[in-house]
Amino acid sequence: MINRVTAFAPASMGNVGVGFDLLGAALAPIDGYQLGDKVSVELASVGSPPLQLEVKGEWASALPGAPEQNIVWQCAEAFLAAGLEQGWLKRAPALKLVLYKQLPVGSGLGSSAASVVAALYALNALFDEPLRPQALLMLMGELEGRISGAVHYDNVAPSYLGGLQLMVSDNGQAECRALPVFSDWYWLVAYSGVSLSTAKMRALLPEAFPLKDVLAYGRNLSAFIHASHQGDEPLALAKMRDVIAEPYRADAIPGFVDARAGLTELGVPVCGISGSGPTLFAVCQSLEQAQAGLEYLNQNYLQSSQGFAHICRLDERGCRLEVC
């Protein structure tokens, strides 16, 4: 068994507008910027505390100060507990973990999911992959649910597996399918610099939706999936409409409504909320259109020095190990 591994998990968009809780996409900025979290795990020396956690990075100060409250610490506890219960661990070794927090908390970019995915992926690699992919994905969903307030996989699945992922299971099993992607699309994402609680944004949604909205949701999502497989770009763009979450969340995200209107005036065909916000995403059909949208968002959507915007492609690799 190796002694130390480091895993990188990319940022992700939940929902992707049309697929509330069922569709997610992993992001890779075209300028090479590493938009995601990293976690290093190594075996600690004999006599060390059972678990040690160090948090580094631009967004480290936004996380709980007590290590045991950090989701990466909880990932290690859950992973070791699973090993002892399932028998592939006879005793829990001492571990040292380092979280490089490179995603803002409460951004709508799958920040907690990236930490969870990187931690569990690294732990699984360190112990020679005792958990199969579906079991690992289920554990990722369970841990991420502690932060978001509900177990859903539209952030952890793409961050782990890459690409555009559709969740297809409703029986407690984590099962997903990768959808074909349009290779000429550029995905523009902009984080305003204002953090929003996922749980609070989820609480804005009604307990029941009008029948017309439920029918529209099913129609749009099924048509988008069909269009993705057929390579029907006009149909895919026409159906990327959020009738479930955006109507209830748009006004709660400072500047979103105006930014959406501004991007539409530039000819951008799709603009929506990434996850629960405040990050917005837009689909652009050319690099020139994406660059114009980027300039607009930098001038009109970012609300603090911590805000940022990137032109992205979809990250097809998902979580991966880095050379230490």
Question: Which residues are part of a known binding site?
Answer: 104-114
Structure tokens at 240: 């990327």
Residue 74 is which amino acid?
Q
Return left, alpha or beta for 242; rule: phi > 0 is left, psi -120 to 50 is alpha, else beta: beta
Structure tokens at 128: 């020679």
Structure tokens at 114: 């990236």
DSSP lists the bridge partners of residue 311 as 188
Q: How far apart are CA 252 and CA 277, in angstroms?
A: 9
DSSP β-ladder status, 280-284 and 270-273: antiparallel
Q: How far apart are CA 97 and CA 119, in angstroms?
A: 8
Structure tokens at 58: 């631009």
DSSP β-ladder status, 4-10 and 36-43: antiparallel
**Three-state SS at 164:** strand
Instruction: Cite the annotated binding site for ATP by residue number.
Output: 104-114
* DSSP line for 311-322: EEEE-SS-SEEE
- State whether the Cα torsion 134-136-140-143 is positive or negative: positive
| R_g over Cα of the chain | 19
Q: How far apart are CA 139 and CA 150, in angstroms?
A: 13
List the one residue out of 52, 21, 30 whose CA is nearest residue 168.
21
Roughly what angle, to the nearest 10 degrees, separates helices 111-126 and 71-86?
40
